[in-house]
Structure 1
Amino acid sequence: MSSGSWNELQQLLLLLVLVYGSAAMQQNSNCSTRCGSVEIPFPFGTSESCCLDSSFLVSCNRTSSGGFIPYLSPGNISVLNISLDGEMRILAGAARGCYDRNGTQNNETSVSWRIDLSQYFSLSSSRNKLTAVGCNALGEVIAYDPDGVNYTTGCLSTCLRINDTTNGVCNGAGCCQSPIPAHGRLSGIFYNSFKAFLDRNDVFGFNPCGYAFVAEDGAYSYSSTDLANFPHESFPVVLDWSVGNLSCLEAKKNASNYACKAENSECYTSSSGLGYLCNCSTGFRGNPYLLHGCQDIDECVDKKLNDCYSIAKCKNLPGSFNCSCPEGYVGNGKENGTRCSRVSVGVITILVISFFVYWRTKETRLNKLKEHFFQQNGGFILQQHISRLRGSIETAKVFTVEELKKATNNFDEVKILGKGGQGTVYKGLLSDNRTVAIKKSKISDSSQVEQFINEVVLLSQINHRNVVRLLGCCLETEVPLLVYEFISNGTIFEHLHGDNQSFKLTWATRLRIAIETAGALAYLHSGISMPIIHRDIKTTNILLDADLTAKISDFGASKIVPLDQTELTTLVQGTMGYLDPEYMHTSQLTEKSDVYSFGVVLAELLTGKKALSFTDPEVRNLVAYFGSSMEEGRLLEIVDKHIINEAKVEHLMEFANVAKQCLRVKREERPTMKEVVSELEGLRVVAGEKHRRENSDKSCSEETKSLLKVPSSSVSVSDVESSKFDSISHDCQVFMSMVGGGR
């Protein structure tokens, strides 16, 4: 091997050491995992090369008797045991203060005890308590965190006679206790201190000294003899420890320093609020800080770890186990489950027969329920209509409920297109890949069944390009369902007033939509054998397809007008803002009620305002606002700003006049829908003629230039050529005008 290759290999080895760091070193056989009787698990170690870092270094010191005692460095704190759950138990001394009869302190006594902790360790506030023993004594614990912030707590113990105290009770008479304050991570320096107060003369005979100490909760039990002779020099104290000062999420970003090295380990935030700890995943145990430290638990070896039934077979799985019954038995094999029971031919036969009977019973009940719903939802009424109309709805398909559930993912709320007064509409995909709209009607009582059947019958008779087509219905469910063709581009309302509009409707499009809607209404009123009054014309019931072609929808409130009648007396139904005022007062429904509602739609198309608004104080009622603006000659002020520059003023005025006629209070003064269509078509012809003339002028100008052979890039011509150009241009325009006038 060349020297260059050897150097590269050395650099690679050094890089690997830096990346894996102490996680690789701690597996070295030279690293001791015990000190005396205390186990030292990684990330702790007895040398710099065997621990995660110097904060986890444990010195193993030999005692005079030849044994070994571990000390946490720095701080020289005696360690009792270390738990990978994030706890360490140490030994801490008690502060002692001795006084004479006059209350003078003996300077040789230790009135305080100090503990120094690194940033990875903190005093457990939940596992320790401050205790003071003595009469007329004050015990304190004072903590300083790394930022120098001070936390102090204390308790006061008083007594005049030894009989004032009770053994085992530490309630302030000879002995007092106080919890350690929970202030997040209490790392840094801790002091136990003891102070006497008042005159000591009365208690000196049985209590010359007082004591204060922090100890693990339950480690000390008071005895009245402790007042005269305190036998304890130190107590166990619980520390919380964690790795670093980062959260799990932050620590994982730096993989080389991330301490949870085991393959099946998890990270969780320390309870002290700073740093994190590692734990083996469920079904694994060991040391999660070692590269291969978490090993699978074989639950099948120890009956306490599995709940398999006595005759069941236990199979160990990574992190789990499985119970299975032997051949010839059924059940899940678990004590708390179905255990294992023997299967016989007779039992199998009974099970098969029982299942068959259950299946047939369920099918019979389901068929009866479907028949009940069919009758409840007006199936027989629908059949009567079909018979009377001589098969005019044969093209409408009767869908099964299973088909429509599959199409809507069991009527998932995500599929909802909209909700209205007559029901909820879902978007569905049939098995033949047709996208449809499925309406789940609202029927709260039997009186509404007729409305539903009414909509089916009406739509089955209608064959018009501007009316939403009914594809079929389903009567097998508790609420009946209608299946329509899917119209993809929303409603006029959404395009006029929606917040997230991809584009605004142009003047030409609005005029065409008005003509298409008017034509469909004229067809309903006079183009079929029995006239139909829609009764709920509004911008939310006029849909737009991909080409922005208008489609009238929602016939739930519609009425058929008998041939011998011109009006119907009905309960008033419709939408406020669009309701014919005369119908609202008299309950007399005529075709002119649809004309009024259509007039409101025209006003919306022209102004871009809502029929009713509770947020716009100027236009609370569009009909009143529109009417007053027309009377005061302020039409151009209320026209939608998106079309004001697209249409000529006279065209807007003519459109507004049509709307004004439709909105007359007296129904006999309103035009019929046929007359409305005629006027709007005339307006479109005028607008179209203007467009053709502009194109003709442009064509004539280009023809004139061609005759004179004037280049398009020329910027000047001679006087003679200019004169010829003007003459020919004039003659051409006169000729085109005559041709246009003769059409």
Structure 2
Amino acid sequence: MTLHIKQFLLIAVVAVLYTKASTQPISLPNCPSKCGCVTIPYPFGTTKDCSLDNTFLINCSQTSHVPFFQEEADNYDSDSDYYNISVLNISLDGVLRVAWPISSDCYDEKGKLVNETTPDITLTYFDISSSQNKFIAVGCDTLGIFTAFDSGGKVYATGCVAYCNNLNDTEANKCSGIGCCEISMPQGHLFAEVNYGSKNISDDNHKSVHGFNPCGYAFINELVILSQINHRNVVKLFGFCLETEVLLLVYEFIPNGTVHEHLHGSVTDLHDKNQSIKLTWKTRLRIAKETAGVLAYLHSAASTPIIHRDVKSRNILLDRNLTAKVSDFGASRIVPLDHSQINTLVQGTLGYLDPEYLHTSQLTEKSDVYSFGVVLAELLTGKKALSFDRPEVERNLASYFGSSMKEGRLLHILDQNIDEANIEQVKEGAHIAERCLRVKGEDRPTMKEVAMELEGILVIEEHRWGSDNLSSEETENLIGMKALSFDRPEVDRNLAAYFGSSMKAGRLLHILDKSIDMANIEQLEEAAQIAE
């Protein structure tokens, strides 16, 4: 009878863990694509050269061919410094499925506790999904208890009761409380640590059911670990191309170049002119706000904190609407949930590197804050982060910007393309950049604070812009056509219909009045969207 209970338990675990097979992506060239029957897609890999970094390193047992990764055993019942977590399935939609140990409490015929296992697992790099896991307890005198902690240390607890008088009460493939109970985890949270176990619920410690059920069991049906970045201002990765000697990453197409190109030239814009789009103050402010929002998300809102480590104007792309898209996470580092800094080899771009990180090799979220400060200074001044073509005192933008602010010379270093009618908002933006560029990381604001402050400035700017909206007559003049004319082809006669269809087809530039200066294209596009 005991064997029957154990068989039921094992069948339940296997069924839950292996019924969600899916088509897998592919690994790096010349790297093992499988360990046993599990496909290992990049960024995971079975060696350091085949994985993005040690976070994604999967060990492959040469004897059992079972893939696993290791976690520190601080809170786990183990004599080793690490314990192995077997990997069952990996997919690049942000889901990693692994096997999890079973909790148990076992008693002898006199009701004495003879064995008890209570897993207490802390994950360093990943979080446990609350929506895709269930907690199950099996037994006829069993209370299953589940406790979890989020990254902030907040505690969540739940449990269920499994009870029966004899084995015949149980029903196969059902888990409704008779011999087996099943509950969802607390919803809407990402957990960094879980603890679960089984206890007896009667006073006789399993004596009345010992003949067929000396033990109670508790387990998680499958552990789902999330590790994806999902933000509207981050360039989307669509897949990989392995038909070349060097791995190619396939990203969404962003047509308008980089912020660096538009600020410093060397880009052919949408109108086939050998010049960059002149970014207005409002557009620059919005780009700064959107970029700050991404970094704030990576630092505090992503499932696991991430430091970009190479924030610069070349890594901020602009789409058709000049919306910012942050790219190039090749140097990024995942921050363990219980760490505030990482000791690592210095990596980044000169001119943007945090001086504190450069001297100590200690990478923190404030390193991204400094780099963002340089980008904001670029947006304000139109100057490159580092240029040996400038006088020595001006070569490093961060130090030159800081000294200019201290001397009250902001107006002398502003980009000439910024309208000084916006000077109050410009000054506020400059003060944010100055704070981000402070030498000591602890004196800099967080990216969340920066994003909120920039959002506030943008709201004021948009309110001012809204008060200056074009009149209907001025809207007509956008394309230099009368509202209705039978002298035009039939498809063009009604200006409203023609304008709307042209906007949907992305043909605004084809219908604009030729006398309009294309240097003001951002304002024209915004006015056209209002008219639409």
- Give the shorter-chain TM-score range: 0.3 to 0.5
Structure-2-length-normalised TM-score: 0.46
User: Which is bigger in relative contact order (C-alpha 8 A, separation at least 6)?
Assistant: 2
Structure-1-length-normalised TM-score: 0.34
Q: Which has the larger radius of gyration?
A: 1
